[in-house]
Structure 1
């Protein structure tokens, strides 16, 4: 591809026409990393962080899932997709919370944006729920880890 897919030959924003594409299984997994601190981690209880607002990770999983299902409302030129599955997991590694969002569908277009939005919103929810303890929180990165289906597969080792 020699040009941006969402820009018409005239230079205007344009949704990609997927009408002629074949339906296939599409999957994507994205990761966001949230760096917390000792003050926040002191509230860690079992598999989650306890706050006045409720369990942080469980709330982030729900928020990320809701966002992934509504990606087309957030990113203007994304197609509306019915997701077959959305799974968000969160685990800690030292002072970091690692969010992974895996989505899948049978469709004519990929689900990378849905996975990225799901992971991003889950990370933002962790920030929102923990900021009462400290604002020393960094959402370090959000990146696509892998995708299958469509013209080409993609897999990032790290």
Structure 2
């Protein structure tokens, strides 16, 4: 099981391909706050709800100084389809070997219908301008998560 990150920890840097195959590096966003959310699979009901919720709140999150990055173990091609289908306007990144998810504590043991398996744990990590974790939430719900995150971050509509 991977170790979950705590507030005050240094955010592990990473470079992952986006939906167009272009590399995106976390440290290139230094100087601004970043919301990194991990989701299990593009184009599934819960993940679509969550992605569209981030899309619909992107302007106010951006106005508050936040950049949003979504990360899943999906291949680039699936992300490209998801971005197009849902008109997503923020980067989705492919972590096929789940190395970044593991580094962030978002990959580990899950239980579903009595079965235990390794998988992606729906999580959100907020990283401040200096690269430090300011908020880490694990096992979040897809529905209503962005509203809760906005409250936790003190962002009003």
Q: Tell me, yes or no, whether TM beats 0.5.
A: no
Instruction: Choose between structure 1 and 2: higher helix proportion.
Output: 2
Instruction: Choose between structure 1 and 2: higher strand proportion.
Output: 1
Larger-gyration structure (1/2):
1
TM-score by length of 2: 0.24
TM-score by length of 1: 0.24
